[in-house]
Amino acid sequence: MSTVVYVIHAKDQPNPCKVGVADDVSDRLCALQCGNPQELVIHAVRAFDDKQMAFTAESRVLRQFAESIVRGEWIGADAAVVFAAVEVPEDANSAAYIIRLCGGAAAVAEMTGTDVSRVHRWTYSEERGGTGGTIPMGKAQILLNAAKAKGIPLKPEHFFGEVSE
C-alpha cells in the first residue's frame, strides 16, 4: 500500500486547503469532515512508495507556503497551486519547478509574454538547445510579479536552483 500526500478543501471553495500525508485518504477525509461544518472534498493525491518521501514532500510544501499558513496544515492558497507544488519531483531543475508551480508552460508563457515553446526550452539541457534549467533573468522579475499577483509562492531563490524551500 502506498502513502499519499493529499490536498483537501471545502467543496466549491479551493482556498484555504489542507495538505497532509495519509495511508488511506478516504479515512482522513472522514476524520477531517467530523470537525468541519463545510463539506470537504479531496482535490488531488500523489502516491509515494516510501512514507518518508511523502513526509518530505509535505514538509517541503508547508515550508514553501509558510507565509500563507492559516492554521496547522491549512494553507491560504488555491488547492491547484498547492498541489502543483506537491507534484514537483525532488530532482526537478529550477525552471521545471517554477513552471509547474506557476501552473504549467502555457500559464508561464501568458504571464511573461513568451511563446510557450520558448518556455519549454528553459527546461531543456544546453545540448538540446535549452537554457539548462534556468529562466532568463529578463523574464524572472516579470514572472515574480505575476506570480505574486496570483498568490503563487514563487521566491527569488527558486531561480537559482533552490527548489526545496
State the pTM of this model: 0.63
The pLDDT profile of the chain, 165 residues, written as one tens digit per residue, is 689 999 999 999 989 999 999 999 999 999 999 989 999 999 999 999 889 989 988 988 888 888 889 999 999 988 888 888 887 766 566 888 899 889 999 999 999 999 999 999 998 888 889 888 888 878 988 999 999 999 898 887 787 654 444
Q: What is the DSSP letter of 18?
A: E
**So where are the chain's domains?**
1-87, 91-165
Residues 6+ apart with CB under 8 A from 85: 60, 61, 64, 65, 100, 101, 153
3-state secondary structure of 35: coil
Strand order across the 13-22 sheet: 40-48, 3-10, 13-22, 74-75, 69-71
Indicate the class that CATH gives domain 91-165. mainly alpha
Indicate the class that CATH gives domain 1-87. alpha beta
C-alpha cell at 86: 506537491
